[in-house]
Amino acid sequence: MTTKPLAGLRVLELARVLAGPWCGQLLADLGADVVKVERAGVGDDTREWGPPFVEDKDGGYHGSAYYHSTNRGKRSIALDFNSADDQATIRRFAKHADVVIENFKVGGLVKYGLDYPSLKAVNPRIVYCSITGFGQTGPYAPRPGYDFIIQGMGGIMSLTGDPQGEPQKVGVAYADIFTGVYSTVGILAALRQRDATGQGSHIDMALLDTQVALLQNHSMNHMIAGVDPKRMGNAHANLVPYQVVPVSDGHIILATGNDGQYRRTCEVLGVPELVTDPRFVDNEQRVNNRDLLMPLLIARTVLFAKADLIEKLEAAGVPVGPINTVPEVFRDPQVVARGMRVDLPAPETRAGTLPSVRQPIVINGERLYGAHASPALGENQDDVMNDPNWGAGA
């Protein structure tokens, strides 16, 4: 692929921390020119979210690992949002931009003249994506939004964790990251609409909306059958056996999705009688009788070593897998073969390169990711200020 899909698209990122920058990074990976506008002297909050930090070639810090997880492929400039001159500069950029991404509190950009109505006045074709905790409307709209709180309010913590333990959040910023991905989808849809109408759009993205949307089968179980879903640890509400099971040297994931896979599981485990037992004959009965079935299966799984049982179940066509640590993930031959880790040029760092994890989109065999590592604060100030594509000299 000689040209990336979004080459020529200009994105102005007025966002910090995670959801907005995640969206911007994804657009940059796909070829957009993403200019990240940061507060002069301060920068994105996550630059200081460490340790660990990346060492620069002079022995100082080049930002936190957290910051570098979400700002690959962008250009950075530093401006003072309280300065009338810098506000005018941002409006000049917006006049030439296709997309603006911002995650200020609702109404927070009005005083700077950088809200959607103000920027639409200078560029009616602008696609303006606002990302907040609770959206632009509703009783919670003025509140700040944090992923942890959203996970609690949005129901996922009531579904995650040991049934006998406390509610658990997901181990990454689940609502933030998915909101960034959904924002990207919304932006691309709005750009397609602009192709047809010539008019831009205001996209209203909320972390809570995203989290509620991601409740998936649990929300439907509730709305259709009145179910009040509870924490089930590593079990599945609608499939059995579909959970973590113990083996002689640890645990594995057993994930049968149909009756045929269940039958083959029983054959591998040496309990063929459980296939025809009327209590377990189909998935409905297995869900209703999970507390009877699972101890019978576990009494057999613990007789096998991890690698041996995985090999036997895989050979029988049963979905099964290990539970990898993060280091094990990046040693996994499939992850290596798919090129998920990339080492990007970063001449300002001590190592000269910076490791990164590419996003999962592959088009025509090409794995797409930004061509350079995350920028230092204001690293591209002169380049962007003098770039005719962003209005210099106009």
Give the CATH number, domain containing residue 316.
Answer: 3.30.1540.10
Same domain, 175 and 249: no
- The answer to whether residues 206 and 133 touch, using CB atoms and an 8 Å cutoff, is yes
The rounded distance, in Å, linking the Cα atoms of 345 and 328 is 25
- Asked if residue 206 belongs to a domain, the reply is yes
Q: Which of 298, 325, 352 delimits the end of a domain?
A: 325
Within 8 A by CB and 6+ apart from 138, the residues are: none
Give 122's pLDDT tier (boundaries 50, 70, 90): very high
pLDDT at position 41 over 70: yes
pLDDT at position 2 over 80: no
pLDDT at position 385 over 70: yes
The rounded distance, in Å, linking the Cα atoms of 135 and 119 is 19
Q: Which of 325, 344, 362 delimits the end of a domain?
A: 325
Same domain, 295 and 343: no
Average pLDDT, the chain: 94
pLDDT at position 305 over 60: yes
The rounded distance, in Å, linking the Cα atoms of 277 and 285 is 10
- Model confidence pLDDT, tens digit, residues 99-113: 999 999 999 999 999
Buried b (16+ CB within 10 A) or exposed e, 277-308: beebeebebbbeebeebbebbbebbeebebee
Same domain, 27 and 108: yes
Same domain, 47 and 171: yes
Same domain, 257 and 123: no
pLDDT value of position 348: 86
pLDDT value of position 123: 97
- Model confidence pLDDT, tens digit, residues 150-185: 999 999 999 999 999 999 999 999 999 999 999 999
Task: Report, as residue numbers or ranges, the catalytic residues.
Answer: 176
Structure tokens at 59: 């022995």
Give 48's pLDDT tier (boundaries 50, 70, 90): very high
Q: Which is nearest to 129 in space by CA: 4, 15, 43?
A: 15
- Asked if residue 149 belongs to a domain, the reply is yes
- Asked if residue 88 belongs to a domain, the reply is yes
- Asked if residue 74 belongs to a domain, the reply is yes
Handedness of CA 189, 193, 199, 201 (dihedral sign): negative
Phi/psi zone of residue 388: left (φ > 0), alpha (ψ -120 to 50 degrees), beta?
alpha
Same domain, 355 and 313: no
Q: HEC states along the chain?
A: CCCCCCCCCEEEEECCCCHHHHHHHHHHHCCCEEEEEEECCCCCHHHHCCCCEEEECCCCEEEEHHHHCCCCCCEEEEECCCCHHHHHHHHHHHHHCCEEEECCCCCCCHHHCCCHHHHHHHCCCCEEEEEECCCCCCCCCCCCCCHHHHHHHCCHHHCCCCCCCCCCCCCCCHHHHHHHHHHHHHHHHHHHHHHHHCCCEEEEEEHHHHHHHCCHHHHHHHHHHCCCCCCCCCCCCCCCCEEEEEECCEEEEEECCCHHHHHHHHHHHCCCHHHHCCCCCCHHHHHHCHHHHHHHHHHHHCCCCHHHHHHHHHHCCCCEECCCCHHHHHHCHHHHHCCCEEEEECCCECCCEEEEECCCCEECCEECCCCCCCCCCCCCHHHHHCCHHHCCCC
Report the chain's terminal Cα–Cα distance, integer Å. 32
Q: Which of 290, 325, 360 delimits the end of a domain?
A: 325
pLDDT at position 1 over 60: no
Same domain, 151 and 288: no
23-40: average pLDDT: 97
Same domain, 263 and 362: no
Q: What is the CATH number of the domain that holds 128?
A: 3.40.50.10540
The rounded distance, in Å, linking the Cα atoms of 195 and 191 is 6
Total count of domains within the chain: 2
- Model confidence pLDDT, tens digit, residues 329-377: 999 999 999 999 999 998 888 888 999 999 999 999 999 999 899 999 9
Handedness of CA 264, 268, 273, 279 (dihedral sign): negative
Give 80's pLDDT tier (boundaries 50, 70, 90): very high
pLDDT at position 43 over 70: yes
In which domain, by residue range, is 318 found?
Answer: 242-325
Same domain, 248 and 176: no
The rounded distance, in Å, linking the Cα atoms of 109 and 32 is 24
- The answer to whether residues 46 and 20 touch, using CB atoms and an 8 Å cutoff, is no
131-135, 226-230, 265-269: range with lowest mean pLDDT: 226-230
pLDDT value of position 170: 92
- Asked if residue 232 belongs to a domain, the reply is no
Best-predicted range by mean pLDDT (217-221, 237-241, 261-265): 261-265
Same domain, 310 and 361: no
- Asked if residue 113 belongs to a domain, the reply is yes
- Asked if residue 98 belongs to a domain, the reply is yes
- Asked if residue 226 belongs to a domain, the reply is no
Same domain, 38 and 160: yes
Same domain, 36 and 98: yes
Structure tokens at 385: 């200020």
pLDDT value of position 350: 87
- The answer to whether residues 98 and 10 touch, using CB atoms and an 8 Å cutoff, is yes
